[in-house]
Chain A
Amino acid sequence: MITSPAPSQTAAARQWFLARHDLGALVEAIRDTGRRVIGPTIRENAIVYDEVQSAADLPAGWRDEQTAGRYRLEHSNDDRAFGYTVGPTSWKRFTFPPNLTIATAHKTTNIGFEQPVPDVPPVAFLGVRACEIAALAVQDRVFLGSQFTDEDFRARRSAAFIVAVQCTTCSSTCFCTSMGTGPEVRGGYDILLTEIEDGFVIQSGSPDGAAIVAKLPTRRPSHAEAGAAVDNVEAVRTQMGEPLPMAGIGERLKLQLDHPRWVQVADRCVECGNCTMSCPTCFCTSVVEKSDLDGKSSTTERQWDSCFDVAFAKVAGGDFRARPRDRYRQWLTHKFSTWWDQFGSSGCVGCGRCITWCPVKIDVREELAAIAPPIPPVIKPVAVEPVAASPGTYSIARLASMRAETEDTTTLSLTDVDPAFLSGRPGQFVMIALPAFPAVPISISRFRSNGIDLTIRAVGATSTALDNLHPGARVGLRGPLGTFWPIEEAYGRHAVVVAGGVGLSPLHGLVDALVANHDRFESVSLFYGTRTPEDRLFRDDLTAWSASKSIDVAVTVDRAGPEWKGRVGVVTTLFDMISWDCTKVTAFVVGPERMMQASVQGLISKGVPADRICVSMERHMECGIGLCGHCQMAGRFVCKDGPVFRLDDLGDMFNREGI
């Protein structure tokens, strides 16, 4: 979302009350400082921004009715001066003019180019809404935020005195709450007005603003008046309804570049460019040369252009965006996705102009919902088609190498595996067997290009036998079985992996995937606890991950000898290190049951939602495919419905004794 400027102090000490009939005094006071005042006024059946000479020019007593492709003005039941929302003009008209001479050139025996010096008389913008303040901030980033700047913009921006107005009504096309830009105004103004019954609560946001406010016939607001100002703005939030799910829209759009809806919307779009023209942040321009007849002197004029132009992306060799769907996709993805990559914020401020002023009634909110809906939180993990699923059939694999992780745990690297195993996903397991030994379930700890790793603790007959194999030996596999870690549920969020002891094994592949895709997540963290330092698995990987910038690793042990210089304490103590907003965490937890319970409790008490915690359960398995009955847990087959479960699916079955 847009990051708003720092909140301005709204302490009651700095607020004043200005009576309705004194609004003119504000306009006069500003004009007295030599500034032209540009504000809302009615022209041609709409409320546009143009010069106002006095408060009488403001559209008091009018309101607007806006839907996609339709704008109507009507009388309201009151005499509010600002009882409407935004119209077809935006402040961009004055900070970034539609036509601007940017160079002059002449040709005599030599050639010369001059750049005009911006001549910008001081001006005041009266009636700047929260979304428009955000739009100005977006323009600041575009035109002033890099090594190449637009000095004309800078001059116009600096010359503008901002009188902001908090909205006390919204149109059906407004969606500032979804874009995090309103309805409250947070900074970026010289004076702020909030309209209430008899007048305005007014406050200054700068020394210049304070100087003007000091000249006005104000008094301190009553408690009720100050409260009404807050309530009136809060009411807009309610009126606007449920915000759209815009979190991660940038990433979601990137995944949908081939969605069929692009063609559908392009069939409706007439490419008139009205959306780009009325948008307060669109900044594409073209230049036109105007010369005298022999070309000896000319001016270069910069004009607003639009990426919907058929020839916008044309070069001599061809056209990069030849189809209407390409151009529509360019506009929408630039505005909502790649703008983030370019300027660190969304390009959209939720003002709704592109919806109202589209003559064919295209509503970007509907298009976004159709093209890039939020990733549904309920992802029922779907099992990949396993091979050799039925007991008795096995796919033979070869043991390529072994590595001792701890005293009793070994990682077997298998190769010559059926391709089905390679397309398994972290969290899944295999049933592994040797002739004369019963099959046992083992999590796949790593996926390689040519095989898989299984990390086995020697606790029983089969596992001990597997431990005693040598490279070159063959084993029988069935799988990949079971559900897998829903890594997509962590996109755009803090991905937290909590592992206890050998529990890191089913999580190893997940950590690999998180690290490989780390820019999809807000952050990636691994909290790993073992009984003693000697019980740590994958020590080389732990070292590599600790050194990597893509993941934060914190390791702790329950107890250690004096040579251990790291943390000592149970893994839940690591949660004290968490400083982010835990409602934005997706956690993946595996370990001994007590450890999982304590960890889950710890995470929930820090605010992680239950539907964002995944665990992997362990039960006795004989068949691995839900037919032997052993692995049942509260009505679920851990081999088939699990082993990965979402915590809210398990509910209080998770902690329950004897289930």
Chain B
Amino acid sequence: MATPGRTARPRVAVVKFASCDGCQLTILDLEDQLLEIVSRFDIVEFPEATSRRSPGPYDLVFVEGSISAPEHLDAIKELRKQARILVAIGACATSGGIQALRNWSNHDAFQAAVYEHPEWIESLATATPISDHVKVDAELRGCPIDPGQLSELLTAVLVGRRPQIRDEAVCRECKRKGIVCLVVASGEACMGPVTTSGCGALCPTYDRGCYGCFGPRANANAKSWSTGLLKSGRPPEEVWRLFAGFTGYAEPFRTTLTELGKSKG
């Protein structure tokens, strides 16, 4: 692993499954720190950024994308064997992403409706997060992930501590920043109370309710939130759409959607 004559830098791989590559781009977006990162990490595999290829083992693997196609199933298992630390990054990898919305539908019917030769398409009926298949050591949520949290994770790996990634509602970030609550002051629909923070309350900063792209908080009371949205006069279809976004397949959003699905018919 170590290049003789140099202190061993952690070998890093960035791998994608079914995804848009936005999270990988976020790594590259750490412009100011990129040189330092590259000097401290040995990035040996990163198709988005370099043609360099390297087989495992790796010290640190960032996995983007959901498991969506048959060939992904073996690939992720092999990747896990090669990775000392495996970090799932982004909504797709941590919750299944937008692709996971198909999990509530008839996959075969979709295929047949869209493709002339559906038998040529290799696709799984469900799109699932990495953690459904292998043990994941850490997660960075978001669509895309937050550069600050990424930086914190990299620092933590180097310094040798647990990353300080909080699991709190987006509301905290709004309030710390002094953003006026859209729900209370404008009656907007917002998923902030049940979504984990990390984005710096990006959408509320621009007067738009939270999309929930960082996924549900641990123990989020999605039931109370959806009930409240329905009670405020929103039809079930609208509430469904609020939960069925980037991270709808993660619990407790998943159960909420299933319940809502029954009522929306």
A residues whose Cβ falls under 8 Å from a Cβ of B: 43-46, 48, 50, 69-73, 87-89, 93, 98-99, 267-274, 277-278, 286, 288-295, 303-306, 309-311, 324, 356-357, 359-361
Contacts and interface: CB of A to CB of B under 8 A. Distances in A.
A268 B181 contact: no
B180 A272 contact: no
Nearest to A361: B228
Nearest to A294: B158
Contacts, number: 129
A310 B225 CA distance: 17
A293 B185 contact: no
A303 B176 contact: yes
Given A88-B181, A293-B37, A99 B221 contact: no
B193 interface: yes
Nearest to A266: B221
Contacts of A295: 155, 158-159
B232 to A, nearest CB: 9
Given A267-B224, A270-B169, A45 B180 contact: yes
B219 interface: yes
B171 A70 contact: no
A71 B220 CA distance: 24
Nearest to A98: B176
A69 B169 contact: no
A155 B166 CA distance: 30
B192 interface: yes
Among A45, A70, A294: residue with most chain B CB under 10 A: A45
Nearest to A360: B228
Given A271-B219, A304-B176, 17 more contacts: A50-B178, A71-B185, A73-B185, A88-B175, A98-B178, A270-B193, A271-B221, A273-B169, A273-B172, A291-B159, A292-B155, A293-B40, A293-B158, A294-B40, A306-B172, A309-B167, A359-B193
Interface of B: 33, 36-37, 40, 152, 154-155, 158-159, 164, 166-169, 171-172, 175-181, 183-187, 190, 192-194, 207, 217-221, 223-225, 228
Given A273-B171, A288-B164, A359-B228, A93 B178 contact: yes
Q: Which 10 A-B pairs have the closest CB atoms?
A: A277-B175, A295-B159, A272-B193, A98-B176, A44-B180, A272-B171, A272-B169, A46-B180, A270-B193, A45-B185
25 contacts: A44-B180, A44-B207, A45-B186, A70-B184, A70-B187, A73-B185, A98-B178, A99-B176, A267-B223, A268-B221, A270-B169, A270-B221, A272-B171, A273-B171, A273-B172, A273-B175, A277-B171, A290-B152, A292-B155, A295-B158, A311-B167, A357-B184, A359-B171, A359-B193, A360-B193
Contact of A270 (B159, B181, B224): B224
B221 A310 contact: no
Nearest to A97: B176
Contacts of A289: 164
A289 to B, nearest CB: 7
Contacts of B166: 286, 309
A617 B155 CA distance: 80
A288 B185 CA distance: 30
Nearest to A312: B168
Contacts of A70: 184, 187
Given A303-B176, A359-B184, A270 B155 contact: no
A274 B181 contact: yes
Nearest to B152: A290
Nearest to B154: A293
Contacts of B40: 293-294
A360 B225 contact: yes
A48 B179 CA distance: 9
Contact of B224 (A305, A357, A360): A360
B178 A310 contact: no
Among A73, A267, A292, A293: residue with most chain B CB under 10 A: A293
Nearest to B186: A45
A445 B33 CA distance: 82
A46 B158 contact: no
A359 B223 CA distance: 14
Contacts of B228: 359-361
B22 to A, nearest CB: 23
Given A43-B180, A293-B37, A359-B181, A274 B175 contact: yes
A293 B155 contact: yes
B206 to A, nearest CB: 11
A73 B207 CA distance: 16
B175 A304 contact: yes
B224 A268 contact: yes
B65 to A, nearest CB: 26
Nearest to B228: A360
Nearest to B221: A270
A399 B45 CA distance: 94
A270 B170 CA distance: 12
Given A270-B224, A270-B225, A292-B155, A48 B178 contact: yes
Contact of B169 (A88, A271, A357): A271
Contacts of B158: 293-295
A64 B265 CA distance: 40
B178 A89 contact: yes
A395 B227 CA distance: 61
A50 B177 CA distance: 12
Nearest to B192: A272
A290 B148 CA distance: 10
A289 B166 CA distance: 12
Nearest to A49: B178
Contact of A48 (B155, B159, B180, B193): B180
A367 to B, nearest CB: 15
